[in-house]
Amino acid sequence: MENILHYDTVALDDEKNALVIVDQTRLPGEVALLSLTRQEEIRRAIYLLQVRGAPAIGVAAAIGVYLAAREIRTEEYGAFCREFKTAKDYLASARPTAVNLFWALDRMERVVLAHRGEPAARIKALLHDEAVAIRDEDVCACRAIGEHGLSLIKDGDGILTHCNAGQLAAVKYGTALAPIHVGLEKGYRFRVFTDETRPLLQGARLSAFEMHSAGADTTVICDSMASQVMKNGWIQAVFVGCDRLAANGDACNKIGTSGLAILAQYYGIPFYVCAPTSTLDLRAATGSDIPIEERPPEEVTELWYEKRMAPAGVNVYNPAFDFADHALVTAVVTEHGIARPPYPESLRAMAGRRPEFTA
Ligand code: MRU
């Protein structure tokens, strides 16, 4: 099998006018590319986690809404805006937690609103360029996160990560795994521990696959083993990604992140959150303001098993995310540098460098 790192996680095929993604539900067994043109397919791919991870969802939505705009037939600007908004809202309804989805769609809508009265063909061309820019900027942001994050660790360190916040969750490099990718490129060696990440196993299936493909010494552990590997002295830093970062530094990420942050503090291990500034949501004052996705109970009771593992009739609680309290976050690594407490000030300064604030 070809190295997964040579594939684009999310791409726009201009010839076929399609969103092309690596189907992450089939990894690591099979590398299958999906070429999606219909809005129902694109929304479904996001909901089913065929494309997943906050930055990747944002890029997929930007490309998706551009493809929707291409199909708008009216030449009347007001009608164009209304049809665009309908398509935008449809894609935005795929998942509620990762703010990158809404950030990317809002950014696309701003292009439409900034070109009031202009011909539909021109607005469509500008939407194409904006979607490509969002994609390209994600690569640059993740590379920069990798460089900044690498300054926090040293050759030979043991790194624990949760879920998949790597290349598969973005376009290239990823966020939490970017320092490892960049370090490996520079000849560092790391011992990487990937939490399997129940219930959807993004750690066992995706991070372990990605890290092993990149040449890292990779060990998969069950989520419940994190305390043990920390106690063994094998972990020098925890790196996680983020789906939405509140203004006070509360970091919402895959379910289990909160517990990991508590463990890291107990064992005196730095806990780093890696996130592009597109993940910052200053309208969320704290983590409690972030909507937490709840997913179907079958993901817990049946998926991955030959037969159902929990007795029929029991209740199942399946939140997809939780948040690490800001007091447990040692630093937030963004593309613009490393933010440290107090987060209300340091994160606001980072957000101020986003294009929509500086334009
Ligand atoms: O449900 P998922 O797989 O989309 O959850 C993804 C995560 O929790 C990632 O850690 C997060 O999106 C950061 S991705 C760089």
Domain ranges, ordered by start, for the chain: 4-142, 145-350
pLDDT above 90 for 37: yes
Residue that is written with structure tokens 């939505």 in the block: 61
CATH code, 4-142: 1.20.120.420
Q: Which of 242, 260, 271, 294 to mutate to test the pocket of ligand 1 (most atoms within 8 A of CB)?
A: 242
Asked whether residue 213 carries a pLDDT value surpassing 80, the answer given is: yes
Confidence at 354, pLDDT banded by 50, 70, 90:
confident
**In this model, does residue 359 exceed pLDDT 70?**
no
Which residues, including other chains, have CB under 8 Å from residue 66's CB and lie 6 or more apart? 12, 108, 124, 127, 128, 130, 131
pTM over 0.95: yes
Which strands form 321-324's sheet, in the order they lie side by side?
280-281, 244-246, 251-254, 321-324
- From 52, 255, 332, the mutation candidate for ligand 1 (largest count of ligand atoms within 8 A of CB) is 52
Average pLDDT over residues 184-211: 98
Share the mean pLDDT of the chain: 96
Examine the pLDDT at 41 and tell me if it is beyond 80.
Answer: yes
Express as a percent the part of the chain with pLDDT over 90: 96
Q: Which atom of ligand 1 is found nearest the CA of 279?
A: 13
In the reported structure, the alpha carbon of residue 175 is separated from the centroid of ligand 1 by a whole-number distance in angstroms of 10
Rounded to whole angstroms, how far apart are CA atoms 66 and 133? 12
**Residues above pLDDT 70, as percent of the chain:** 98
For residue 319, whether the previous peptide bond is cis, meaning omega lies within 30 degrees of 0, is no
Give residue 241 CA to ligand 1 midpoint distance, Å. 7
Pocket around ligand 1: residues whose beta carbon is below 6 Å from it? 49, 52-55, 98, 163, 165, 169-170, 174-175, 202, 241-243, 253-254, 320
| Band (251; pLDDT cuts 50, 70, 90) | very high
Q: Would you call 312 helix, strand, or coil by DSSP? A: coil
Which backbone phi and psi does 336 adopt, to 5 degrees? -95, 0
**In sequence order, which residues have a C-beta less than 8 Å from that of residue 133 and are 6 or more positions away?**
none
Q: Mean per-residue pLDDT for 336-357?
A: 90
CA of 53 to the centre of ligand 1 (A): 4
Looking at per-residue pLDDT, the higher value among 197 and 5 belongs to 197
Catalytic machinery residues: 243
Q: Can you name the CATH fold of 145-350? A: Rossmann fold (3.40.50)
Residue range 47-72: mean pLDDT, rounded? 98
CB 264 within 8 A of CB 186: no
Between CA 123 and CA 239 the distance in angstroms is 40
Mean pLDDT, range 61-75, rounded to an integer: 98
Which residues neighbour 137 within 8 Å (Cβ) at sequence distance 6 or greater?
Answer: none
Closest approach atom of ligand 1 to CA 24: 3
Instruction: Return the number of other C-beta atoms located less than 10 Å from residue 150's C-beta.
Output: 20
Read off the pLDDT of each residue in 288-304 and give the average, rounded to a whole number. 97
CATH topology agreement for domains 4-142 and 145-350: no
CA of 311 to the centre of ligand 1 (A): 29
Quote the distance between the C-alpha of residue 200 and its chain's center.
15
Distance, in Å, from the CA atom of 210 to the CA atom of 86, rounded to the nearest integer, reads 36
